Amino acid sequence: MISPKIQDAINAQINAEFWSAYLYLSMGMHFQAEGYNGIANWFRIQFKEEQAHAEIFMNYLNSRGGRVVLKEIAPVPTTWESPLNAFVDTLAHEEKVTGLIHNLYALAEAEHDYATRGKLDWFVSEQVEEEETAKELIDRLKLIGDNGMALYMLDQELAARTYTVPAPLAAKA
């Protein structure tokens, strides 16, 4: 059985993951409307990943005898000045999520909930990758600057991104 403190914290994280998904869906729809179909694709894949993260937490909570409580998702922004601005926002958001994961990990340690701490190890590694990817795209967009052909090429590259089921969900399939 999972402690009420851990259950509440995981439910808050589930809400944060769904908010993240909603944010990335909003970004994807914005850039699709702006004609950046590759960038839109990148954000739509990110939307699916965040939904999967919420599902991992929900499955885990249920497996530990906890109860998933879905709450209202707060509104998200709907427009960005440029792809660079969107990826700067992405990095800031991922850094915030990293903090949430670290806080959840610290709570699991304080509660001596080693199963939850073990489950969170995957998320800690995932956040390193999320931040690294956002930083890389920011660096590339800064190099591109006002070069329309380079932005077109990056957009084409991002159109090729495909969704991969995260390992904790793939193991259940």
Determine the pLDDT at residue 22.
98
> Is 169 inside a domain boundary?
no
Tokens 């890389």 found at = 136
Region of 112 (left: φ > 0; alpha: ψ -120 to 50; beta: rest) is left
- Sequence length of the chain is 173
Burial grade of 1 (CB within 10 A; 0-12, 13-18, 19 or more): exposed
The pLDDT tens digits of the residues spanning 77-102 come to: 999 999 999 999 999 999 999 999 99
Domain count, the chain: 1
> Is 40 inside a domain boundary?
yes
Determine the pLDDT at residue 170.
87
| CATH assignment of the domain containing 118 | 1.20.1260.10
**String of DSSP letters for 33-82:** HTT-HHHHHHHHHHHHHHHHHHHHHHHHHHHTT------PPPP-----SS
Owning domain of residue 128 = 4-164
> Is 172 inside a domain boundary?
no
Determine the pLDDT at residue 164.
95
Low-confidence stretches of the chain (pLDDT < 70) are 172-173
